[in-house]
Amino acid sequence: MDIPSLFMIPSAVSSGKVHSVFPNSTDADFDFARSSTASRVNSDGLIETVASGQARLNYEIEAGLVNTKCSLLLEPQRTNTAQYSEDVAVYDYNDSTIRENVQIITPYGYKSQAVKIDAEFGVSSPIRAASFSLGSYSTNDVVTLSGFVKYNGYRYVQFGGYFGSESAIFDLIDGVITQNLSNVISSSMVKFPNDWYKLTVTYTFQNTIGNGYLYAGWVISPESDFSFTNAPSGGIYVWGLQAELGSYATSYIPTNGSTQTRSGETCNGAGTSSILPSEEGILYAEVAALANDTTARRLSISDGTTNNGVEIGFTNVTNEIKNRIKSGGSTTANLNYTATNVLNYNKIAFKFKVNDFAVFANGQEVLTDTSGAVPTGLSELAFDRGDGTQNFYGKIRDIRVYNTKEMTDSEVDILLTKITS
């Protein structure tokens, strides 16, 4: 069965392009843009810098192992307000700690600078190293703090804001989160190579001190209750401190004396009217959201406007995936699928044909509509809704467009089941 299709293959990225495998056509390649450097996790599970304008093929780490499948990572603009992410200079407040810059194997995968935080021998709790220099925020802002930590004799770490119940407690031996304090929205703990853990805490900033500055960092303890006297020697290594405004952590943004901003990314411009189907077809994507953050994020085939298009995307409803047809400026099909979890990868296929629309998700037909017109003049595949807005931020393993005009209904159904399974 010869099925014309347009693919985005995550293993093919170069020179600001995300390449397709459409036969003999560079018109199917995406144009990618980002005006700053950025970081990614490579196939060895190590963090590396990617040049300005270069798309990122990112590998995820699960239970300490690198997933062999990579994805195209698209993120919004974010700023790391921790001004010395790998330097002891960021920790301008401490109780009973000895802090120094050291050269060890970091999450970069080679020997570079990290910070060693040791307890002063024989002191009583609390033992903490924190920063007053994490930028200005407003009361009730949702803030995400992230950083890498490595065991060096002290098992328990409380990480996050120091006041207002804004932190979580982590066990560096068992690799588990033991407690989230009351103003923590979410927390996570991911094991990286070389025995580093990435800790993340998202919380509602209480501004307890009242000056608008985050007061956050590390409290360490050899005991789970953080109450002790006569502290033993030892401590932790830390690296890559990041504070950002937002409900989830984004990829690492290194700093050295000032805040740094990673620009938002766009990926669009693939295809032409001669390649993309005009009467009937399938738009397919395997995607995961960065967060259930109730913002509209779309990918589409369109005429370069929002008048005519086929859209798949995340909505402002938790775990909802929108599948919409626009024809002549009107919505002619609107099929909203509730996924189990949009943070996981979902395989979604949206079939469109006059009076015949269907959504397949993860191997099953989940929605249909038997009335409606189809768009005309489709000329571009993009990670937005067609007009450069509602950019798709997330992780994309695969995107395809099929022209089904020469296929029977039975063949289409077989294809839909196969590609989404």
The pLDDT score that the predictor gives to residue 16 is 60
* 383 backbone dihedrals φ, ψ, rounded to 5°: -95, 60
The pLDDT score that the predictor gives to residue 364 is 95
Per-residue pLDDT of the chain (421 residues; tens, 9 = 90+): 344 455 555 556 665 667 665 545 567 788 899 999 999 999 999 999 999 999 999 999 988 899 998 999 999 999 999 999 999 999 998 999 999 999 999 999 999 999 999 999 999 999 999 998 799 999 999 999 999 999 999 999 999 998 999 999 999 999 999 999 999 999 999 999 999 999 999 999 999 999 999 999 999 999 999 998 999 999 999 999 999 999 999 999 999 999 999 999 999 988 888 888 888 999 999 999 999 887 899 999 999 999 999 999 999 899 999 999 999 999 999 999 999 999 999 999 999 999 999 999 999 999 999 999 999 999 999 999 999 999 999 999 989 899 898 889 999 999 999 999 9
Cα–Cα distance for residue pair 193/61, rounded to 1 Å: 9
The 3-state DSSP class for residue 415 equals helix
Cα–Cα distance for residue pair 4/23, rounded to 1 Å: 9
The pLDDT score that the predictor gives to residue 1 is 35
CATH architecture group of domain 79-261: Sandwich (2.60)
The pLDDT score that the predictor gives to residue 2 is 40
Cα–Cα distance for residue pair 86/135, rounded to 1 Å: 16
Please indicate whether the domains covering 5-76+265-420 and 79-261 agree at the CATH topology level: yes
The pLDDT score that the predictor gives to residue 22 is 57
Map tokens 């502290």 to a residue.
Answer: 231
CATH 3.20.20.80 fits 5-76+265-420, yes or no: no
Residues in the chain: 421
Domain boundaries, the chain: 5-76+265-420, 79-261
The pLDDT score that the predictor gives to residue 4 is 46
Cα–Cα distance for residue pair 309/385, rounded to 1 Å: 8
Cα–Cα distance for residue pair 60/65, rounded to 1 Å: 8
The sign one gets for the Cα dihedral 95, 96, 102, 108 is negative
Q: In the chain, count of helices (H) and strands (E)? A: 1, 33
The pLDDT score that the predictor gives to residue 42 is 95
The pLDDT score that the predictor gives to residue 275 is 83
The pLDDT score that the predictor gives to residue 14 is 62
The pLDDT score that the predictor gives to residue 19 is 66
Region for 195 from its dihedrals, namely left if φ exceeds 0, alpha if ψ lies in -120 to 50, beta otherwise = left
The sign one gets for the Cα dihedral 412, 414, 418, 421 is positive
